[in-house]
Structure 1
Amino acid sequence: MIAELRERVSCPVLAPEDPGFGEVRAVFNAMHPGDPSLVVSCFGTADVVDAVTFARDNGLAMSVRGGGHSIAGLSASDSCMLIDLAPMHAVQVDAAARLARVQGGAVWADVDRETQAFGLATPGGVVSDTGVAGLTLGGGYGWLRRKYGLAADHLLAAEVVGPDGQVRIASENENTDLLWALRGGGGNFGVVTWFTFALEEVGPTVAFGGTFYPIEEAAQVIRGWRDYVAIAPDEVTATCLTITMPADPELPEAVHNRACVVIGAVYSGGADAGMDILRPLRELGTPLMDMSQPMPFTAVQQGFDAFFPRNTLQAYWKSRYLSSLSDEAIDFVAARALDRPSPFTLVNLFHMGGAIAAVAPDATAFAQRSSPFLLSIDGNWTEPADNDANIAWVRRTFQESANYGDDGVYLNFTGRSEEPPDVAMDSAFGANLRRLAEIKAKYDPTNMFRSNNNITPAPN
């Protein structure tokens, strides 16, 4: 059977005993490394077509790995045929048209490198090693979100290999329902081999704010952050996170093994003016370290990479949107930040609004547009023996956070759920779920693409 597939494709087809099998792009979450029975490391769209067709004809379960950063391990299923897109990482920029064509195996560092050569960017993530495909198909928050919205909002077209082996173009001119679904509906509809993004003028230098405060000042700092973002212009995207910094010789001793509140912010405009506008975020408490400065946009995109090394951390995350951030909610976040069970665990607050909220909730599959804040509880630790305790802490923190608001979940920041799948899907998609189920039934009626945040095809 493997010999037949090898004859079809132009790329490596690897069984566990083959050299190179263990060198397939590693996942982020070491809790879900995956144990596929077969890997097809595709070189192009034709290889993907042949791999999907082979899986369908032989009744094989299938997973697709773009960047491999799925927190829930959705690109790391066991005993499946893994379609590995890592070799497909080309980026083509049309600077005059402000467009970028990006292959499905690219990570955001690939995109930033090419687009920033022209002083252009599209909204991506906050970690440059994150896959373009997973982040975009799930919505996609990054450092440009308040000025320019989601990665999915800048998706203009996609080349998609469906379960029938057909290659379709989804755009505003053809298969428009499929494009609507891809803008936030996840990997339910096929393998996206090429993305076409609209680009914006960004950089190459932007104003960056990065200030570290003592964790003991968390409540004060977060209150100041909340009050600042309430009046900040849309050019400001700001995030608050708590983490324990390592004893890195490249960092000041003041933060070595120190639990900190980190305020990170980017101004999407002139760097000099931006530094003045971001200044209040540097004065919220007693700074332990201040990295704020005009900085290349590519450096900003890579600034948090060290917190998320591949295949190193056990990870279990939960997130929920909040319609407000009361003093009581802030006190809760500060208390949980002090009680983190692992130094690598983060308790994060993202400011939303701006361009995100300017898009109608039914204009794309991504429905949650109105909430001004997202709380993300990122459980990260190193020892599998500690899984139960850390997962329990994240779940308890998530459950208690519902006392301060519950506007739904963000699936990209959510681990494998203990809830029935339909509950999580309803929380994420709301009124859009019915249309997504109908589109799923049209393009994938047998649910061949199910290793994802799965949407059940609507019945005929």
Structure 2
Amino acid sequence: MANTKLTSLESFLEEHPHITYATPSSSNYISLRQIFARDQEATPLAIVRPQSAADVSLLVKFAVSNSIKFTIRTGGHNLSGAAIAQDALAIDMRDIAYVNILADKKSAKIGGGVLVFDVATALEKEGLATPVGAVGSVGYVGWATYGGYGPLSRQFGLGVDQIVGAKIVKSDGEVIVADERLLKGLRGGGGLFGVIVELEIKVYPLKNVLTGTMVLDSQDLASTFKRFNTGYLQLSAKGMPSQLVLQQMIFNSPQGKVMCVAFMWSSEDVETGRTWLGKIEALATVVMNTVAVSTVADYLQGNAALVPESVHGAGFTHNFREITSEVAEIISGNLLKMAEDPGCMFVVHELKGASSTANNSSVFGTRDEHFMLEIIGYALDIKNRESAMAWAENTWAELAKTESSNLLPGKYISLDRPVLEPGTAPLSRLYGLNCREVLALKEEYDSEDVFSHAVPQLKNYV
């Protein structure tokens, strides 16, 4: 059956030679197929590279009329490997990668396949910036439409909060401009309702930032983690400027386990930024500090060395209102047990400031101020896969038993473990009170579940 479908696809593509593609027998198939989740072993029917929204429309129409399932790939960083599926057509959006800044320099239109780093780089040339994540090779559309935590979010809001317009390809192939109701669904629902071929996003004047990494004395890692978070909790209680975002990271270095704090001051008022840098430095013993005046693109470039191209294993996540002494005690104890593989890490993100403002224009579910934990059970060496995953799951399970009033019920879609069995998890854990709206939009725009491989797979939630 797959061969018959492939033959039909190749005949179709011969009529549209500008749409490049690769089949399993093509020399470039393996390189095009590579995604972040190395455990995803699926062999797509073929990989196609549309050049425009019109091409995506043609491909969707063809796939539906020939009963061919398909997936959508932007950056390929989905942690469960949802960018590809066995015998499904992989629509790789990475050639639709433009960034067009509007004349008023308050917004930009971007292609559905552009990467985070390329957005930051294009805006930087015009003295502009917009919230992005910490990893430049991630697809911007996937990052933004499912939430979009990042180093500028305290001041400007999450990725979903930047979206002011969108074009999507519907399940029948029609290209439409999203109305306000659909836009609300896209802001958190991502690709559930169609293929997002273009977004219009807010941009802001910002030429330079004060950013870099502080490496903390990690000889007594558990004590360092607890000391830093106790001090940070006290400092935060006095009030923090919206321009300041920190990201704590613990990872395996050649010298052993190391705790770092990424510092981002998103303002050109460098003097005030350095004052706050001094306050953060005082929370622990800093053995190396790379914080300097730089750009958002340079920040992403610096992070690239820490992010592997692909990994084995899985990650887990929790949202906590505060890193309390109870939470810090469990985390610090488990950091010492972290599998010794460069892919295994622990990261603390924050959702505060503008990101935590009640927002009725998105379906993103968790707006209470919180710390989002990324418990990264990854391994570069497959021999370490099981130990890395076991460490992450055990840490997650222990944290789940802490004070319930401090543990938010909502999970971040992009980091949550996929639900694979129907009826085993509530949809509210992703969308909170917006569940009905998400389901209503799905019924309106994709009642036949043409986009069945989109995240999350709604059929498995209750």
User: Normalising to structure 1: TM-score of the pair?
Assistant: 0.91
SS at match of 2:190: coil
Confirm whether residue 439 of structure 1 aligns to residue 441 of structure 2: yes
In structure 2, what is the Cα distance between the partners aligned to 1:402 and 1:141?
22
Which residue, 183, 186, 191 being the options, matches 1:187?
Answer: 191
CA shift for structure 1 position 328? 1.1
In structure 2, what is the Cα distance between the partners aligned to 1:12 and 1:19?
13
The residue number in structure 1 matching 2:31 is 23
SS at match of 1:75: coil
The residue number in structure 1 matching 2:285 is 286
- Could you report, residue by residue, the CA deviation over 1:233-266 in whole angstroms, capped at 9, with x for unpaired residues? 11111111211224xxxxxxxxxx2311111121
In structure 1, what is the Cα distance between the partners aligned to 2:349 and 2:210?
18
Residues 316 and 393, structure 2, Cα contact 8 Å, conserved in 1: yes
Residues 188 and 449, structure 1, Cα contact 8 Å, conserved in 2: yes
The residue number in structure 1 matching 2:4 is none
CA shift for structure 1 position 201? 1.7
In structure 2, what is the Cα distance between the partners aligned to 1:78 and 1:403?
37
In structure 2, what is the Cα distance between the partners aligned to 1:34 and 1:225?
44
The residue number in structure 1 matching 2:5 is none
Residues 151 and 245, structure 2, Cα contact 8 Å, conserved in 1: yes
The alignment yields a C-alpha RMSD, in angstroms, of 2.0
The residue number in structure 1 matching 2:227 is 220
CA shift for structure 1 position 348? 1.8
Which residue, 437, 450, 453 being the options, matches 2:452?
Answer: 450
The residue number in structure 2 matching 1:110 is 118
Structure 1 gaps of 5+ residues are: 247-256
| Aligned partner letter, 1:205 | N
Which stretch shifts more, 138-147 or 323-332?
A: 323-332
SS at match of 1:280: helix
| Aligned partner letter, 1:447 | D
The residue number in structure 2 matching 1:273 is 272
In structure 2, what is the Cα distance between the partners aligned to 1:399 and 1:77?
29
In structure 1, what is the Cα distance between the partners aligned to 2:92 and 2:434?
30
Which residue, 381, 384, 387 being the options, matches 1:386?
Answer: 384
Residues 105 and 131, structure 1, Cα contact 8 Å, conserved in 2: yes
Structure 2 gaps of 5+ residues are: 1-7
The residue number in structure 2 matching 1:429 is 431
In structure 2, what is the Cα distance between the partners aligned to 1:352 and 1:332?
21
Confirm whether residue 416 of structure 1 aligns to residue 418 of structure 2: yes
The residue number in structure 2 matching 1:251 is none
Confirm whether residue 396 of structure 1 aligns to residue 404 of structure 2: no
User: Normalising to structure 2: TM-score of the pair?
Assistant: 0.91
The residue number in structure 1 matching 2:351 is 352
Q: Per the alignment, do residues 205 and 33 of structure 1 end up closer, same or farther by CA in structure 2, a change over 3 Å counting?
A: farther
- Could you report, residue by residue, the CA deviation over 1:64-111 in whole angstroms, capped at 9, with x for unpaired residues? 101101112111222110001111111111252421111111101111
Identity of aligned residues (%): 24
Residues 149 and 349, structure 2, Cα contact 8 Å, conserved in 1: no
Residues 425 and 455, structure 1, Cα contact 8 Å, conserved in 2: no
The residue number in structure 1 matching 2:241 is 233
SS at match of 1:430: helix
The residue number in structure 2 matching 1:207 is 210
The residue number in structure 1 matching 2:294 is 295
Confirm whether residue 376 of structure 1 aligns to residue 374 of structure 2: yes
| Aligned partner letter, 1:147 | Q
In structure 2, what is the Cα distance between the partners aligned to 1:443 and 1:155?
19
CA shift for structure 1 position 200? 1.2
Report the number of matched residues. Answer: 441
CA shift for structure 1 position 455? 5.0
In structure 2, what is the Cα distance between the partners aligned to 1:457 and 1:413?
19
Residues 263 and 281, structure 1, Cα contact 8 Å, conserved in 2: no
Q: Per the alignment, do residues 33 and 140 of structure 1 end up closer, same or farther by CA in structure 2, a change over 3 Å counting?
A: farther
- Could you report, residue by residue, the CA deviation over 1:20-52 in whole angstroms, capped at 9, with x for unpaired residues? 222316312212254201111111111111111
In structure 2, what is the Cα distance between the partners aligned to 1:98 and 1:139?
21
